[in-house]
Structure 1
C-alpha cells in the first residue's frame, strides 16, 4: 500500500514541547531570571511558559538531575544555590577534563579546527567590547565545547555535555569582570593548540581553570 505525506513519530509533538520547556527553564535559571533559592511551582512555570503542567513536570525532573533545582517535600522545586562546595566541585572536574582535552586537541587539531577556534575568539572579543555578556557567556561555553570536540575523544564530549550548562551558569554570574581575562587565557590555549604543543596547551588549560575558579569563588557572598 502506497504511503503519502510525511511519516510522524508517535509523541513527536509532546517530546518537542518538553524539550522547548526544558531549554527555556534552563536558560532562565542560568541567566538569573529565576534566582538562586527561588521557589518554582509547576503551576507558576506552566503559566510562565503558556503550557500544561505535564511538560513542566518532566522538565523539572531533568533540571533536578542536572543539579539546577532541588525538589523539596511540600515545597516543590527550588533553584539550587551555587555555594562554595558546588563551585569547587565543578572546577575540580573541569580541571581534569579540560587539561586532558587541551593536550589531545594540540595533538589532533587540523588547520580547519584552529580556524574555528580563532573565529570563536574573535566573536568573544567583539561581544566583550560591546559588553554583551549574555553572548560572551554563550561563546565561552561554545569555545570549551569546541576544544573538547577538537580533542576527538567522544567520552570527554559525552561526559562534559551536562557540565557546561553549569559552567555557563557560573561564568554568567561574573561575566562582566571575568570576560577580558578569560579571552586572553583562551588566546594562549589556542596558540598552543595551533603550535601542536600538548604540554603548553595542558598548562594553558590548567592555568585558565585555576584563574576561573579563583574568580568564581570571589563572586560568592560572604557570611
Structure 2
C-alpha cells in the first residue's frame, strides 16, 4: 500500500477538525468540544501532499513555532495515532527533520526535539555573516535588472509586514533564498536555511520581544543592501552585511547579558 495518498484519506471526517454534533449521543445532552490538537490541524491543512510530506510539514511547524518544546520526546506511535497514519511516514518525516537539524534521533532511545541554548546566538551570527556575505557578494556580481526587480518586490512585501514579526521572518527567509538563487549557490542556500531556522526558534523562545523591536532596523538594512546592489557597489554590499549581523549579534547578546564586542 502506498503512503502517497491524499492526506485527508486517513483523517476521520475527511480531515476536518470541527467538533462532531452531539445529537444522537446520550440524548440531547451537550458535549464539550475537545481542545484542538495543533499538530493534527496542521496535518489536516496539507491536503494533496504525500503523507510523509504532510507529517513533516506539520511537525516542522509545531517545532518552529514552539508548540513542541525543545528536548521533547517525539514518540512515533503517539504521532501516528494523533494523525491517523501508519508509522512509516512518521519515521520518514523524523529522518528529514533530523537532516534539518531540528530533531535528534538516538539509537535505542528514540527521537527528541533539538535543544536550544541562548549562548548559541554567537555561533549563529558567525554563520549568518559568513553565508550572507558570500551569497550577497555573488548575487551582486550576477544580478540582472530582472533580479533586482524581484528583490525589490520582496522588500516591498516585507515593508507591509514589519508589525508582524512572524510573517516578516517567513518573507525574510524567502528573500535570502532568492539572493542565493541569483548567486547560484545551492549549497549555501541549504546551509543558510538551516541557520535561519535555528535562529527563528531561538529568537521566538528567548527573545521574542527583542526580535520584534529589531525588525524595522533589519528592514532598513535590507533596503541599504538593495541600494548597494542596484549600484553594483559590491564592496559596500559586503560591508553592510557584516555591519548588519554584528550589530544584531551584539544587541541580542547584550539583552541576554552575554558577550563582548565581536572582533576578529
Helix, strand or coil: the match of 2:115? coil
Between the aligned partners of 1:219 and 1:46, the Cα distance in structure 2 is 40
Query: Aligned pair 1:213/2:257, yes or no?
Result: no
Between the aligned partners of 2:167 and 2:97, the Cα distance in structure 1 is 22
| Greater displacement, 19-28 / 67-76 | 67-76
Helix, strand or coil: the match of 2:161? helix
In structure 2, the residue matched to 1:181 is 217
Question: Quick one: structure 1 residues 80 and 158, their matched pair in 2 at CA, closer, same or farther if it must change by over 3 Å?
Answer: closer
Shift of 1:203: 0.8
Kept in 1, the 8 Å contact 2:101–2:194? The answer is no
Between the aligned partners of 1:199 and 1:60, the Cα distance in structure 2 is 42
In structure 1, the residue matched to 2:4 is 13
Helix, strand or coil: the match of 1:78? strand
Between the aligned partners of 1:215 and 1:34, the Cα distance in structure 2 is 27
Shift of 1:153: 3.2
| Greater displacement, 43-52 / 115-124 | 43-52
In terms of Rg, which structure is larger?
2
Helix, strand or coil: the match of 1:95? helix
Between the aligned partners of 1:192 and 1:170, the Cα distance in structure 2 is 30
Between the aligned partners of 1:116 and 1:70, the Cα distance in structure 2 is 37
Query: Aligned pair 1:43/2:43, yes or no?
Result: no
- Give the number of aligned pairs: 211
Question: What pairs up with 1:96-111 in 2 under 5 angstroms?
Answer: 96-111=130-145
Between the aligned partners of 2:119 and 2:183, the Cα distance in structure 1 is 29
Kept in 2, the 8 Å contact 1:133–1:172? The answer is no
Between the aligned partners of 2:169 and 2:92, the Cα distance in structure 1 is 27
Shift of 1:142: 0.7
Higher normalized contact order (CA 8 Å, seq sep 6+, divided by chain length)? 1
Shift of 1:64: 2.0
Kept in 2, the 8 Å contact 1:71–1:77? The answer is yes
Q: Deviations over 1:28-76 (max 9, x none)?
A: 1111121223222112322343322221112112212322122356653
Between the aligned partners of 2:185 and 2:108, the Cα distance in structure 1 is 43
TM normalised by structure 1 equals: 0.80
1:149 to 137, 160, 181: 181
| Greater displacement, 149-158 / 28-37 | 149-158
Kept in 1, the 8 Å contact 2:103–2:113? The answer is yes
TM normalised by structure 2 equals: 0.69
In structure 2, the residue matched to 1:7 is none
In structure 2, the residue matched to 1:195 is 231
In structure 2, the residue matched to 1:140 is 172
Between the aligned partners of 1:21 and 1:151, the Cα distance in structure 2 is 32
Kept in 2, the 8 Å contact 1:145–1:157? The answer is yes
In structure 1, the residue matched to 2:10 is none
